[in-house]
Structure 1
């Protein structure tokens, strides 16, 4: 009886089976990748898997992978003395001048895969997930005080990105695809029948996973071979958890 038989499927074997089965929760697969990264002392793999599990909140925006930076319309809810409007699409140019260069139709999706799945499941068919703009409360006050709104007694009630659930599905699919790519790359470096990769094999596979971040730097998974409402509404603002006026201008 082999060691693999006695102990059951190894993490790589479980990961290989799971990435090909869309019914297997993505969080469990990322935990397997985290274990593999731990055994191989692969900090990049561990960092990426943990970020996808826990989310990118509180981390620099430049560290967020490109597949988590989709475009989505900015929408506003508002009312006056005679009407109410919900889900009105507006341009970033309608926002206060101080947001120029910091807020546009590109939205950073920071949430972990479990929360993304929960947002998708809580969103009624045909509706969007609302992700609040950074500093939305302050922006609502500033906009309501602008002459073009104040003169018509218009009050801005909410400001958010309206993100289609299909966009969130695509993020989850991108993560699963990269896990699949990791398994394929790893298997290509391992002898047939081998169940446990060496640290060097893991590092080589990690180097070949294509993930770029917001500044177009492939820093998330690179390693040296020298190793030893309408729909669901997210309560936290998307992106790094800073006030909007503190965000780095582009």
Structure 2
């Protein structure tokens, strides 16, 4: 199976084969993802793969790189001997510091793994059961603890997150799984025989895989003509034009015999519209009132004229039939 996939030369096929091969590092697959995103013109794909490869800004780290782990401190005596490991809570910090951390969205107990994927793979390959990860703000917290929260004969050497090797490898599996889902979405959105996806398909696939906002990829803006039917699963606009065009969702349609459902407007002969508060602009009728009555039929027209005459006679109290 792997050999059959590997014989295909495209980058998408290479990523697909690599996802199924646990011996290939995730960093290698992400490098191919950068190239594929460049070929497709998808800056979203390139940006995501680059951030995984180069590391994230600590404030923009995705959810799957945030682990719930308590912050620990290494404490010694003033001479630096007799180290002890203690759990640190933000309650030991000054109120102003706690307020600052909350405003910054920093939780001492959430390990933010913002380093590049190569570093994480290297750590996972050391064979250690636990890894010591120092937060980017670790020196600041260490100084504050030494100034406000420890006894005179105690010194805080450093603060760290104790990340288990299993948690670290689990994160790498999540990134590999994200790549597998990305390839699966691209397979579904790319025409058969075309290796490089178009930009719109690549962007939507990355949006779905990275954010996990929806279970299916849907189009948010569509245009169609000449009787093509389209639907929209999100709140985005859909425009259908041309004879026999139909659309479903929040949209507008124009053209003879066009139809649609939802909140929308419609234009054209024999156009139909359905939905709550749905309405379509009605063209002004320039014909005379008598012509419009004649269209409704001779009997209706005659009855209408007679009824109008009787009303006038009654109002003026004139009875010509007496």
TM-score (norm 1): 0.71
The residue aligned with 2:87 is: 89
Which portions of structure 1, spanning 4 or more consecutive aligned residues, are displaced by more than 6 angstroms?
A: 223-226
Identify unmatched segments of 5+ residues in structure 2. Answer: 1-6, 223-322
Matches within 5 A, 1:24-103: 24-56=24-56, 59=57, 61=59, 63-80=60-77, 84-100=82-98, 101=102, 102-103=106-107
The structure, 1 or 2, with the larger RCO (C-alpha pairs under 8 Å, 6+ apart) is 1
Contact in 1 for aligned 2:41/2:198 (Cα 8 Å): no
- Residues 75, 154 of structure 2: 8 Å contact kept: yes
> In the superposition, relative to structure 1, how do residues 167 and 95 fare at CA in structure 2: closer, same or farther (>3 Å)?
farther
Contact kept in structure 2, 1:200 and 1:225, CA below 8 Å:
no
Deviation at residue 60 of structure 1 after TM alignment: 6.0
C-alpha distance in 1 between matches for 2:187 and 2:142: 53
CA–CA distance in 1 between the matches of 2:199 and 2:144? 54
Is 1:104 equivalent to 2:101 in the alignment?
A: no
Deviations 1:199-234 (A, max 9, x none): 34323433432426xxxx99xxxx9879xxxxxxxx
CA change 1:157–1:177 in 2 (3 A) is: same
Q: Deviations over 1:135-188 (max 9, x none)?
A: 4334333323336512xx111111111111222212211111111011111111
Q: CA-atom RMSD, angstroms?
A: 3.0
Q: State the aligned residue count.
A: 206
Q: Tell me how far apart the structure 2 counterparts of residues 147 and 107 of structure 1 sit (CA, whole Å).
A: 22
Give the stretch that moved more between structures: 129-138 or 25-34: 129-138
Match of 2:135 among 133, 136, 139: 133
| Structure with greater strand share of residues | 2
Cα deviation, residue 74, structure 1: 0.9
- Max radius of gyration: which structure? 2
In structure 2, the CA distance between the partners of 1:134 and 1:205, relative to structure 1 (3 Å rule), is closer
